[in-house]
């Protein structure tokens, strides 16, 4: 009777030698492929990756670190503020997509204080990652300064105002603000309100500056409802009711997040305001939730999954030694004009 040949798992831990024997490739080729070697043919890399997955290969991180000084870990220091719907899941999804077929794994550390450097300091002192992705940067972000000083690979989701360049990928917020103003002007709006969150971020300053410039060019009145990041949804809803009842109620609203837009809309509607009639509203879209609830409401979309993919690409290039000046990209806003003109 023919007996099944025992698989590698029956013999113990799967090693590089196991994969080499299974693929017919040399040990050095397998090792290079699993390290993400770009000099190999894609066909070879795919063959090694498929064999490693089928055999259940798990890298010995401690051994890798001893041999190479690398952890094969990327760290995402994720802002914990709840001002964007589904931001965290989509960002992690994008990074995960970009890491497929690479030796890297992702560690996620939520940070609830945007001014804290504790997580970055821990990573730098203990070298728990080969590179870092941070979000929600400020103009003079101390986390950025710390990593620049340490010459540690990182990329930020957001720009800063530092003289020294650093890798970043950012939403082109100035274009978003300009597009929204011009859309509202086209609908006849003369009193436009900008609802915006944390004034400590560079994104805030970029949006506000572009908003005022676009409004001035078009000769319309403007007001700001700012520092709303600390307001609860119930408080934001109450603001909507309050605005609806004011003598100088805006006829156009631009909102920098779906979370705030949803709460504000609830207040408007409770006060009897007709959205798309009495008030036109445009929001920055980061999920499919509001388009489902308000299918006729205009938005400008930011692709968070795509941002995660791009941030990971830039970080891997930086780890490999690419010049900082080549690692600065902007994502263009995607207008979703759903309402009639």
Indicate the Cα dihedral angle 266, 268, 269, 274, nearest 10°: -140
**Domain 73-171+304-331 architecture:** 3-Layer(aba) Sandwich (3.40)
Domain residue spans of the chain: 1-59, 73-171+304-331, 173-301
In CATH, the number for domain 1-59 is 1.10.260.40
Q: How far is CA 11 from CA 18, 146, 235, in A?
A: 10, 47, 62
Query: Is 179 a residue whose pLDDT tops 60?
Result: yes
Out of 3.30.465.10, 3.40.50.1370, 3.40.50.2300, 3.40.50.2000, select the CATH number for domain 173-301. 3.40.50.2300
Which H or E element spans position 217? helix 202-218
User: Tokens for 183?
Assistant: 């859309």
Of the candidates 234, 254, 106, 235, the residue with the CA atom closest to the CA atom of residue 177: 254
Q: Do domains 1-59 and 73-171+304-331 have the same CATH topology?
A: no
What confidence score (pLDDT) does residue 2 get? Answer: 43
Q: Above 50 in pLDDT, residue 64?
A: yes
Q: Give pLDDT tens digits for 107-124.
A: 999 888 777 899 999 999
Q: What is the mean pLDDT of the chain?
A: 88
Output the pLDDT for position 56.
Answer: 80
pLDDT by residue (tens digit) across 138-160? 999 999 999 999 999 999 999 99
Which token pair is 208? 């506000």
* Token pair recorded at residue 154: 């990182």
Q: Supply the pLDDT for residue 40.
A: 83
Whole-prediction pTM value? Answer: 0.80
Mean pLDDT for the stretch of residues 318-335: 96
Contacts of 138 (CB under 8 A, 6+ apart): 114, 115, 160, 200, 201, 202
């Amino acid at each position: 009777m023919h007996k099944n040949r025992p698989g590698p798992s029956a013999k113990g831990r799967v090693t590089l030698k196991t994969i080499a024997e299974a693929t017919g490739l040399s040990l050095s080729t397998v090792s290079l492929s699993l390290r993400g070697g770009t000099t190999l043919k894609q066909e070879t890399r795919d063959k090694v990756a498929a064999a490693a997955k089928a055999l259940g290969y798990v890298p010995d991180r401690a051994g890798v670190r001893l041999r190479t000084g690398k952890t094969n870990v990327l760290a995402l220091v994720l802002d914990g503020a709840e001002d964007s719907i589904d931001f965290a899941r989509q960002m992690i999804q994008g990074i995960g997509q970009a890491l497929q077929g690479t030796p890297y794994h992702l560690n996620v550390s939520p940070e609830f204080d945007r001014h804290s450097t504790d997580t970055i300091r821990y990573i730098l002192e203990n070298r728990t990652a080969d590179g870092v992705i941070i979000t929600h940067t400020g103009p003079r972000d101390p986390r950025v300064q710390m990593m620049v000083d340490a010459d540690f690979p990182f990329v930020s989701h957001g720009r800063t105002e530092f003289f020294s360049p650093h890798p970043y990928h950012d939403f082109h917020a100035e274009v978003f603000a300009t597009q929204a103003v011009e859309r509202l002007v086209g609908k006849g709006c003369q009193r436009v309100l900008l609802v915006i969150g944390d004034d400590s971020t560079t994104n805030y300053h970029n949006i506000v500056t572009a908003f005022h410039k676009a409004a001035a060019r078009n000769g319309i009145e403007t007001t700001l409802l700012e520092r709303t990041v600390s307001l609860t949804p119930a408080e934001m809803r109450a603001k909507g009711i309050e605005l609806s009842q004011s003598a100088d109620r805006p006829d156009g609203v631009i909102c920098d997040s779906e979370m705030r837009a949803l709460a504000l809309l609830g207040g408007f509607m409770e006060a009897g305001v007709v959205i798309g009639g009495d008030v036109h509203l445009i929001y920055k879209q980061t999920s499919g939730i509001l388009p489902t609830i308000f299918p006729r409401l205009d938005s400008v979309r930011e692709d968070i999954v795509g941002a995660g993919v791009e941030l990971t690409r830039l970080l891997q290039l930086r780890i490999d030694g690419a010049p900082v000046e080549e690692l600065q990209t902007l994502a263009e806003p995607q207008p979703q004009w759903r309402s009639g003109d």
